[in-house]
């Protein structure tokens, strides 16, 4: 169980995906992100629909491989290879141990590198769940342009993010609702406050309008929100 922020900290250090986080990550994200289970399951369903034979599939920011498992379970197109990419060494090492490459219908491999350095080519599916929010703001458009360039016609980019609101009242409301969601899942006020302090300089959310406009400007022909739960949204962009 995630108890990383249960004791008072002074100061609260910036959030990092280290061995301590890896040990509790499934519990942490399940109790912190409303709709997480549905987003993962549907990422697999959507990947199964859009995957084309003899193409590459990528999961950028693969953490412990939950999205990869969903994709692997649903893709029936022949000749595909799935690559999970994460810059946290502890995450990738855990994936390699827990995720046999021969398991499932399509081969999967994990790479430890910064997704800004990843080469995307001949891709029919690229997933990126709750990852762009950790990429520096100034690097996001270039990363998304690279993804677009590496996707084949008819391919899909599936992205989920914590989102922000321009309207201060909406932002305040959905922040408080998210905190209430965490309370309902057993987090204390101290844990909520310290986690927020740890992550607020590391994770920078943007509005759904910014996400959609940027994806359209990059060139995706269809850009839609396919799911939202509180201030968490999932996007679909088709080339």
Task: For the chain, give every domain's residue range.
Answer: 1-239
For 101, other C-beta atoms within 10 Å of its C-beta total: 11
CATH 3.40.50.150 fits 1-239, yes or no: yes
pTM: 0.92
Cβ atoms of residues 161 and 133 within 8 Å: yes
Helix spans in the chain (H): 19-32, 36-50, 66-74, 89-98, 140-150, 168-184, 189-199, 208-218
Q: What is the pLDDT along the chain (239 residues), one digit of tens a residue?
A: 765 655 666 666 666 777 777 877 788 889 899 999 999 999 999 999 999 999 999 999 999 999 999 999 999 999 999 999 999 998 899 888 887 655 667 999 999 999 999 999 999 999 999 999 999 999 999 999 999 999 999 999 999 999 999 999 999 999 999 999 999 988 888 878 787 778 887 889 999 999 999 999 999 999 999 999 999 999 999 99
């Amino acid at each position: 169980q995630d108890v990383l922020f249960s004791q008072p900290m002074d100061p609260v250090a910036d959030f990092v995906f280290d061995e301590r986080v890896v040990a509790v990550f499934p519990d942490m994200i399940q109790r912190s992100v409303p709709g997480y289970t549905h987003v993962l399951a549907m990422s697999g369903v959507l990947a199964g629909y859009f995957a084309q034979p003899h193409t590459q599939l990528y999961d950028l920011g693969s953490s412990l491989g939950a999205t990869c498992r969903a994709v692997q379970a649903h893709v029936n197109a022949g000749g595909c290879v799935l690559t999970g990419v994460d810059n946290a060494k502890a995450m990738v090492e855990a994936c390699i141990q827990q995720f046999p490459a021969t398991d499932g219908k399509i081969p999967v491999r994990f790479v430890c590198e910064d997704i800004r350095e990843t080469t995307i080519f001949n891709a029919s599916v690229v997933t990126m769940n709750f990852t762009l929010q950790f990429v520096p703001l100034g690097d996001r458009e270039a990363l998304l342009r690279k993804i677009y360039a590496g996707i084949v016609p008819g391919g899909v980019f599936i992205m989920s993010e914590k989102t922000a609101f321009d309207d201060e009242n909406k932002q305040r409301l959905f922040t408080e609702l998210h905190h209430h969601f965490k309370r309902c899942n057993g987090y204390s006020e101290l844990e909520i406050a310290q986690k927020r302090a740890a992550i607020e300089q590391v994770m920078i959310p943007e509005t759904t309008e910014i996400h959609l406009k940027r994806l359209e400007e990059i060139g995706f022909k269809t850009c839609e929100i396919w799911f939202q739960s509180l201030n968490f949204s999932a996007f679909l962009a088709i080339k």
